[in-house]
Amino acid sequence: MKKMTGGISRRTFLAAAVAPLIVKAQTLGRGGATPPSERIILGGIGIGHRGRHDLQWMIAEKDVQFVAICDAWKQRRESVKQVVDRYYGNTNCAMYRDIREFLATRSDIDAVLITTGDRWHALASVMAMRAGKDVYSEKPSSMTIAEGQAVVQTAARFGRIYQTGTQRLSEANFVAANELLRLGRLGKVHTVRAHIAGGSAVTSREWAAGQPEPARDELDWDEWLGPCPWRPFNQRYVDGGWRGQYDFHTGSIGEWGAHTFAQCQVALGLGETSAVSYEPVAAASGDGMAVRFANGVQMVLQQGGWHGSCGVRYEGTEGWVACADGYSRPEVSSPALLADYTKLVQDYAARTGRALNHVRNFFDCVKSRQKTVANEMVMHRSMSTVHGANICMWLNRKLTLDPLKEEFVGDAEANRLCSRAMRAPWQI
């Protein structure tokens, strides 16, 4: 699951991910360049491996100050505190085990970074927004269509800013590909292709053998499970083995579709709707499934054929463009399409006013109250396409989704799979 933030190369990114910890210690937290009144006070929820990347990008922003970490796992919250304290040169980063306590007591925090496992993304986002925080959450934004609806409704109800960590929406190569489509340079686009991961869309419901539960302060297993059905503790889940589990993960389609479906739908100008028709395929991963939008454009879920992760390809009557991580430039049917690559990207930035840096786009919007590039509606609608594809694979039959009602047409069973009860006391 390779991810990057911002419109820079992987090498630069990796260098930047380490460098701030060493050289920027005096920039913030000691009365740095940004006046306190203009700083965004940031907290974190469930920051692990991926979250550390996000955190190091965020902490490097001059108008951001990270003050507290909430994590059910002591080892991780202490690790984050160590990183943050070393960066600021103090010992001020507070630690919390319980998300309810964290949100109830830290009214000073403006925004939170949520990088828990998938099972917690929507619930933590909803809880944080209810507590008046703006939210940057890792993908996927939801485990079900109902969760996505709750995120959208809560953001509107509380007037909060929300961004999902689908950072390719802010990277120059992907932006250029989207602009080629938007400007009509590909002609009439009939097909887009979205990279999906390997594995299976039909995820496992098996329980791993139980192990002795750690002390609550070491690892709060009940909090770790959160809204999901109870099952016995096993360290394998905590170490990343939650992937591939029905309760915790959105499977092969959601793993990368959470990125690539959003990329395709934004490029097509379909960020506020979802695919309407779904047809199952024999491949367990969903490879080759073609879903269609109301305007007739089909999106093909494609596992192979990329030489980088999270690839997308847009095909029109006059040409095509493809892009994935690691491409030095998008691949195109004709070099002429990229002749004004730099201007394409610059004009996008000028037209939208968006930074080509995903976390910066979030912080800018926290201040301006503009919608982010990966806002709650875009993410909910593209994730609804992911969920639609998953449900189609689970039921192994054709489905039609009414994107206005957000219901499958004439299929009560499919509609019943749009939500899951949450374990008490959690609710959205």
Partner 1 sequence: MLARDARAVADLKKSRKQKTESKKRKSETKRTIMNALQRVVLFAVMLAASTALAQSPEAKLLDVLKSNATRPEKADACRELGRVGTQAAVAPLAALLGDEQLADMARHGLENIPDPAAGAALRVALGQLKGKFLVGVIASLGVRRDAQAVEPLARLLGDADSGVAAAAAMALGKIGTGAAAAALKPALGKNSAAGEALLRCAEALPDQAVALYDAVRGAAGPAYLKTAATRGAILARGAAGLPLLLEQLGSADPAMFKVALGAGRELPGANVTQALAAEVGKFTPEKQGLVIQMLGDRHDVAAAPALLALAGQGAGEVRVAAIRALSQMGCTAAVPLLGGLAVSGEAEIAKAALSALAGFQGHDVDAAIVALLNRPDAKLRAVGVELVGRRRITGACAELLRLTADADTQVSAASFKVLGDIAGPSEITPLLAALQKTATPQAAEDALAAICARQAQATGAVVIQKAVYGDLPDGPSADVTAKVNELIRAGKQAFEVSNGSFGDPASGRVKRLQVDYSVEGRPRSAKADEGELLKLDATTAAPAVVVEPLLAAYAQAQGAPKLSILALLRTAGGAKALAVVREASGAGDAALRETALRALCDWPTAEVLPDLEKLARTSTDDKFKILALRGYLRLIPLRAATPAANAAVLKEAMGLCGRDEERRLALAALGNVPAPEALALAATYLDNASLKEEAGLAAVAIAESIAKSHPDQVGEVMKQLTKTSKNPAVLKRARKLAGLGRKNK
Nearer to partner 1, 22 or 424 (CB): 424
Nearer to partner 1, 235 or 368 (CB): 368
Nearer to partner 1, 18 or 336 (CB): 336
Nearer to partner 1, 84 or 428 (CB): 428
Q: How many CA atoms lie within 13 A of 393 on its CB side?
A: 26
CB of 41 to partner 1, least distance (A): 12
Nearer to partner 1, 80 or 324 (CB): 324
Q: Are strands 40-45 and 64-70 parallel, antiparallel or unpaired?
A: parallel
Of 169, 141, 151, 113, which is closest to residue 363 (Cα–Cα)? 113
**Is the separation of the CB atoms in 296 and 268 below 8 Å?**
no
CA distance linking residue 146 with residue 163, whole number of Å: 18
CB of 89 to partner 1, least distance (A): 28
Residues that bind partner 1 (CB under 8 A): 37, 107, 130-132, 153, 157-159, 183, 185, 190, 202, 205-207, 229-231, 281-283, 287-288, 302, 304-305, 320, 334, 336, 339-340, 343, 346-353, 367-371, 394-396, 412-413, 416-417, 419-425, 427
CA distance linking residue 50 with residue 7, whole number of Å: 18
- Residue 247: other Cβ atoms inside 10 A: 20
CA distance linking residue 34 with residue 61, whole number of Å: 10
CB of 117 to partner 1, least distance (A): 19
CB of 320 to partner 1, least distance (A): 8
**Is the separation of the CB atoms in 109 and 42 below 8 Å?**
yes
End-to-end Cα, the chain, rounded Å:
28
CB of 95 to partner 1, least distance (A): 23
CA distance linking residue 103 with residue 111, whole number of Å: 11
Nearer to partner 1, 21 or 290 (CB): 290
CB of 355 to partner 1, least distance (A): 13
